[in-house]
Amino acid sequence: MESLTLTDIEQKYYSDLFVYCDTDNTKKVASNGRVLDLFRAAQLPSEVVLQITELCGATRLGHFGRSQFYIALKLIAIAQSGLPLRVESLNSVKDLPLPRFVVGKNEAEARHAALYQDTDSQGLYPASATAVIPRPPGRGLQNKKGPPSSTALPPEPTSPVVSPHQSPPTSPHSWRKHKRQHSGGNADRQPVVAATGAVWTQFREPQAGPVPGEGMWPSHSPPPPGQESWVSFTADTPPSSALPAMHPSSVQESTTIRTVASAATTNEIQRQSSGYDDPWKITDEQRQYYINQFKTIQPDLTGFIPGSAAKEFFTKSKLPILELSHIWELSDFDKDGALTLDEFCAAFHLVVARKNGYDLPEKLPESLMPKLIDLDDSAEVSESTADVGYSGSPVEVTPNKSPSMPSLNQAWPEMNQSNEQWETFSERSSSSQTLTQFDSNIAPADPDTAIVHPVPIRMTPSKIHMQEMELKRTGSGETTSAFPLLIDCDGYSSSDSFTSDQEPITRQRSQSGTSPEALKVVAPPPPPPRPHPSHSRSSSLDMNRTFAATSAPGQPQPSTIAFPPAVPPRPLPTQAEVAPGGGAVLTTTSPQQIPQQPNFADFSQFQAFAASEQPSSLPEKSSEGAGPLRTVKSDGQADERSSATVNSAKGSSGPLAPPPKPVRRRLKSEDELRPEDEQHGPQKSNVIAAVLATQPSIPRSVGKDKKAIQASIRRNKETNTVLARLNSELQQQLKDLLEERISLEVQLEQLRPFSHL
Amino acid sequence: MSAFLHTSLDVVEEKISAVGKSLGDQRELYLGLLYPTEDYKVYGYVTNSKVKFVIVVDSSNTSLRDNEIRSMFRKLHNSFTDVMCNPFHNPGDPIQSKAFDGIVSGMMVQTG
């Protein structure tokens, strides 16, 4: 028996098959059913099988020893690949794919074959299986072995095997396929298979390491998952199904695939032999796919994918953690815990290969070295595609990676289809969902922090005000009160429509919902601030409040404040007049006051105030002799007019109508009396009247827009302060004028006796 | 044998408690722990993350120089960090990295 040199893959495959056939555990396989079935499954003509058995010496020995068995298997592979059956070819054929066996037992074989297929055996098994039974004269086989026969064979066996074929290709993907039906994939697989077959042949040389293409199919190696699919295949291939499925569908698939592939491989081999022979090379399609996947994780192609993200991504491939860890070790070239695009592509490629059944290399293949990535953008894709590969590209990718470029390219589109399927099952969606969920979870946290601050964003001016109020309230630590306060604040703070108030209210409510915590955190300042605004309106009529509060916490207060001040000034001028001028002044002032009294009757306080102002102004005007006084008065008049105009502007509502009228009247009278100081008073009184007029109207507008009221209140306050100042100044001037008047009158009286004379 | 390992760990901890050692003891010589029937030396090494490496060397071998032990620890530390960088590796799990194992066995082979 000639020595037989087998590649590692072949060795493994053959040993598995031998074990499978060695039912008696005698280390030698008799021509029992299993062997026969196996050979039958090789889908070779009986003649071929006979020839094989003859060649391997089994006929001599009467049984299949291990070596004979191996030889037979190799011959089967040779036969399947269409090469002439010769003993010499046992060791001479380089890229012989593993023998493939159809169905059933073939599955098991196919699995092995798939595993070992990287390079060889593809055709062998099926050929041998089929050949076993007929045991035809070997010569005949030789003829068949020729390419035509090989091509003929593959089609034949493949035709029935086609279906399983398709399944086998899927079996590598079977991991993925378990999830879905192979049916769809099968059709796609075939070309892939063919491609891989060719690839495998080429793999022979590089086969030492990873057998990506074959690995893909050998991916059956994850037996359990594949089993299901494989079983289905067995059904497809009834004849071979008789054989126990060692690697059930996988074998069948692999066999069928191989048969198909063998045909294709021959062509491909020729092509590929001219091409590269690196089984780990990443095709452009794969690379692009990887790049796309990379982008899903890291939009920046020059950036890194952190280890955690990569872990999550690759975990979706359902590869064992140990293998993933190994892949990571291989692909993380710079050992930085993150994957660049190149590293990612390499990792993805390795994952795809692994999924297709290829064993992981001990060290990173050259084609996957990150440096390649630097050269090619596509390299980056590998990482991304790795993730995508899970979805279905892995299988496709690996075949693409395999030397059989053409086949890969063909397979690529198919894989793309399967990719979609892959993606469906990949957790990517879930991860993305989780990611999105995360984001949404993070968002709510912000409002809490925002609430603590006075400006929770999205605020209309009123809202901001409300929030400020809310802050004050939060200081008080009352969250519940915040709501009503907020509402009140809106009313008070904003001069906008209520709608805007409502929005802020709702928002603030939501915020306050989250803010309770924040509020609680805040030290509870005194509640008092809150009640103020609410009471402010009610207290508008609270004269005590207006008197007591100098600062105007509530808006109505200014209005109330305005009222009382209106009264006091009146007695002042009279008192002032009385003090310096004595009775004469009083008499003079009183008659002046009297004519104005009718005005008093019309309007209550502010009229009196105005009247009081007028008498005071009148005396001032009478003592107009003093230029400076007039200037002062003119100034005062100007001030009064300005204030009056302001007040008149304010007083526009209905109830305010009467008040403004007298004010206007006074303005008119002031204009008429302008040359006199009286205008000073009327203006002032008008101003005051206007202010007072506006004030009473405020309480009536309670039902109106709170914001408007608040604004008006503010305005009123301002005018009040202005008027107060004016008032004080005018009163001072009044006193001075009165004194001057008195002095002048005294002089006049003194001069009169002389005038009489 | 494991008892010695544990005792050596205790000694390492004892030395760790010493303040001012950034990397801990790079080596620790257990010459005194020579077992009557079995000569061996135990070297300890502590990383910044309190991960302890212990090397047990059979004294029957030609004694390793201290520098050699240090270089061994350095290599060990490097490959350990590489293993840790692997996101799929859960700290605490036994290290299953082939590369790591390869390096370790290589070192062992080197030192005989």
Q: What secondary structure does DSSP assign to A654-688, as a single string?
A: STTSTTHHHHHHHHHHHHHTTTSGGGHHHHHHHHH
Candidate ranges A179-183, A333-337, A494-498, A650-654; pick with highest mean pLDDT: A333-337
Asked if residue A737 has pLDDT above 90, the reply is yes
One-letter amino acid for residue A273 of the chain: S
The secondary structure of A290-316, three-state, reads HHHHHHHHCCCCCCCEEHHHHHHHHHC
Query: Do B88 and A321 count as a contact with CB atoms less than 8 A apart?
Result: yes
Residue A457 Rama label (left phi>0; alpha psi -120 to 50; beta) = left
Chain B CB within 8 Å of residue A334 CB: no
**pLDDT > 70 in chain A, percent:** 25
CB A578 within 8 A of CB A619: no
User: pLDDT at position A436, please?
Assistant: 45
At residue A655, φ and ψ (nearest 5 deg) are -60, -25
Chain B: nearest CA to A310, how far in angstroms?
8
Beta-bridge partner residues of A107: none
CB A130 within 8 A of CB A39: yes
Identify which of A189, A201, A46, A205 has the alpha carbon closest to the alpha carbon of residue A128: A46
Distance CA A47, CA A439 (A): 69
Between chain A and chain B, the number of residue pairs with CB atoms below 8 A apart is 39
Asked if residue A288 has pLDDT above 80, the reply is yes
User: pLDDT at position A23, please?
Assistant: 61
Query: Counting every residue, how long is chain A?
Result: 757
What average pLDDT does the segment A126-149 reach?
42
Distance CA A254, CA A247 (A): 10
At residue A231, φ and ψ (nearest 5 deg) are -60, -40
Q: If residue A338 lies in a helix (H) or strand (E), which one and from where to where?
A: strand A338-339
Asked if residue A268 has pLDDT above 50, the reply is no
- Chain A nearest-CA residue for B84: A337
Distance CA B49, CA B66 (A): 23
Of B85, B89, B99, nearest to A336 by CB-CB distance is B85
Beta-bridge partner residues of B57: B41
A-contacting residues in B 59-88 (Cβ below 8 Å): 81-83, 85-88
Provide the 3-class DSSP secondary structure of residue A737: helix
Angle at A653 between CA A650 and CA A657, to 5 degrees: 90
- Chain A nearest-CA residue for B79: A335
What average pLDDT does the segment A477-495 reach?
45
Q: If residue A28 lies in a helix (H) or strand (E), which one and from where to where?
A: strand A28-30
CB A217 within 8 A of CB A63: no
Query: Do B86 and A362 count as a contact with CB atoms less than 8 A apart?
Result: no
Chain B CB within 8 Å of residue A148 CB: no
What average pLDDT does the segment A500-506 reach?
46
**Alpha-carbon torsion A732, A735, A739, A740, what sign?**
positive
Distance CA A193, CA A172 (A): 11
User: pLDDT at position A366, please?
Assistant: 73
| A753 CB neighbour count, 10 Å cutoff | 8
One-letter amino acid for residue A269 of the chain: I
Identify which of A627, A568, A616, A630 has the alpha carbon closest to the alpha carbon of residue A738: A616
User: pLDDT at position B39, please?
Assistant: 66
Confidence of residue A735 (pLDDT cuts 50, 70, 90): very high
**pLDDT > 90 in chain A, percent:** 5
More confident residue, A479 or A60: A60
Give the range among A340-354, A375-389, A597-611, B56-70 with minimum mean pLDDT: A375-389
Query: Do A310 and B99 count as a contact with CB atoms less than 8 A apart?
Result: no
Asked if residue A301 has pLDDT above 80, the reply is no
Of B83, B87, B98, nearest to A311 by CB-CB distance is B87
For residue A736, CA distances in Å to A147, A461, A626, A632, A732 come to: 132, 48, 10, 11, 6
pLDDT in tens, A541-559: 555 554 544 444 444 444 4
Asked if residue A404 has pLDDT above 70, the reply is no
Name A60's Cβ contacts closer than 8 Å, sequence gap at least 6.
none
Strand residue runs (E) in chain B: 40-46, 52-58
Confidence of residue B62 (pLDDT cuts 50, 70, 90): low
Beta-bridge partner residues of A70: none
The structure tokens listed for B36 are 């009557």
**Residue of A323, A329, A343, A344 to mutate for B, most B C-beta atoms under 10 A:** A329
Distance CA A745, CA B101 (A): 122
Query: Do B88 and A337 count as a contact with CB atoms less than 8 A apart?
Result: no
At residue A618, φ and ψ (nearest 5 deg) are -60, -55
Chain A: nearest CA to B69, how far in angstroms?
24
Locate tokens 């006075």: which residue? Answer: A454
More confident residue, A263 or A66: A66
Chain A CB within 8 Å of residue B7 CB: no
Identify which of A23, A8, A152, A2 has the alpha carbon closest to the alpha carbon of residue A75: A2
pLDDT in tens, A239-248: 443 444 344 4
Where do the H-state alpha helices sit in A171-247?
A: 174-179, 182-203, 212-216, 223-236, 238-241
Beta-bridge partner residues of B52: B46
What average pLDDT does the segment A506-517 reach?
46
User: A313 to chain B: which residues are within 8 Å by CB?
Assistant: none
Beta-bridge partner residues of A63: A30
Asked if residue A250 has pLDDT above 90, the reply is no
User: B96 to chain A: which residues are within 8 Å by CB?
Assistant: 322, 325
CB A230 within 8 A of CB A172: no
Mean of all residue pLDDT scores within chain B: 69
Angle at A246 between CA A243 and CA A249, to 5 degrees: 80
User: A328 to chain B: which residues are within 8 Å by CB?
Assistant: 86-88
Mean of all residue pLDDT scores within chain A: 56
Asked if residue A358 has pLDDT above 90, the reply is no
Distance CA A660, CA A248 (A): 104
pLDDT in tens, A73-112: 777 777 777 777 666 666 665 566 666 676 544 444 444 4
Query: Do B85 and A335 count as a contact with CB atoms less than 8 A apart?
Result: yes
What average pLDDT does the segment A494-506 reach?
45
The secondary structure of A255-273, three-state, reads HHHHHHHHHHHHHHHHHHH
Query: Do B98 and A326 count as a contact with CB atoms less than 8 A apart?
Result: yes
**Residue of B77, B80, B82, B86 to mutate for A, most A C-beta atoms under 10 A:** B86
Chain B CB within 8 Å of residue A364 CB: no
One-letter amino acid for residue A318 of the chain: K
User: pLDDT at position A276, please?
Assistant: 41
DSSP code of A63? E
User: A315 to chain B: which residues are within 8 Å by CB?
Assistant: 88
Chain A CB within 8 Å of residue B94 CB: no
User: B89 to chain A: which residues are within 8 Å by CB?
Assistant: 325
How many Å is the Cα radius of gyration of chain B?
Answer: 14
Identify which of A576, A528, A578 has the alpha carbon closest to the alpha carbon of residue A553: A528
pLDDT in tens, A313-355: 888 878 787 778 777 777 777 777 788 888 888 888 888 888 8
What is the reported pTM?
Answer: 0.29
Chain A: nearest CA to B84, how far in angstroms?
8
Asked if residue A733 has pLDDT above 60, the reply is yes
Distance CA A409, CA A490 (A): 68
User: B82 to chain A: which residues are within 8 Å by CB?
Assistant: 329, 335
Distance CA A184, CA B76 (A): 50
Query: Do A337 and B96 count as a contact with CB atoms less than 8 A apart?
Result: no
Asked if residue A757 has pLDDT above 50, the reply is yes
Query: Do A332 and B85 count as a contact with CB atoms less than 8 A apart?
Result: yes
CA A13, A18, A21, A26: dihedral to nearest 10 degrees? -160
Identify which of A368, A311, A361, A314 has the alpha carbon closest to the alpha carbon of residue A338: A311
Strand residue runs (E) in A39-185: 63-65
| A642 CB neighbour count, 10 Å cutoff | 14
**Alpha-carbon torsion A237, A243, A248, A252, what sign?**
negative
More confident residue, A467 or A491: A467
One-letter amino acid for residue A507 of the chain: R
Beta-bridge partner residues of B46: B52
Asked if residue A39 has pLDDT above 60, the reply is yes
Asked if residue A291 has pLDDT above 80, the reply is yes
Of B81, B85, B88, nearest to A324 by CB-CB distance is B88
Query: Do A337 and B89 count as a contact with CB atoms less than 8 A apart?
Result: no
Of A310, A329, A336, nearest to B97 by CB-CB distance is A329
Distance CA A251, CA A246 (A): 8
Distance CA A186, CA A174 (A): 11
User: pLDDT at position A319, please?
Assistant: 78
Kind of pairing between the strands at A305-306 and A338-339: antiparallel
What average pLDDT does the segment A229-242 reach?
40
The structure tokens listed for A44 are 């070779």
User: pLDDT at position A244, please?
Assistant: 42
One-letter amino acid for residue A49 of the chain: V
Asked if residue A755 has pLDDT above 60, the reply is yes
Name A299's Cβ contacts closer than 8 Å, sequence gap at least 6.
none
User: A322 to chain B: which residues are within 8 Å by CB?
Assistant: 96
Query: Do A307 and B89 count as a contact with CB atoms less than 8 A apart?
Result: no
CB A226 within 8 A of CB A205: no
Asked if residue A725 has pLDDT above 90, the reply is yes
CB A44 within 8 A of CB A131: yes
User: B77 to chain A: which residues are within 8 Å by CB?
Assistant: none
What average pLDDT does the segment A460-487 reach?
49
What average pLDDT does the segment A594-623 reach?
47
At residue A305, φ and ψ (nearest 5 deg) are -100, 120
Distance CA A28, CA A35 (A): 11
Locate tokens 């400006």: which residue? Answer: A455
User: A321 to chain B: which residues are within 8 Å by CB?
Assistant: 88
Name A318's Cβ contacts closer than 8 Å, sequence gap at least 6.
A175, A176, A390
Asked if residue A496 has pLDDT above 70, the reply is no
More confident residue, B12 or A567: B12
Beta-bridge partner residues of A40: A130
Provide the 3-class DSSP secondary structure of residue A701: helix
User: pLDDT at position B63, please?
Assistant: 65
User: pLDDT at position A730, please?
Assistant: 94
Distance CA A174, CA A356 (A): 8
Of B87, B98, B99, nearest to A307 by CB-CB distance is B87
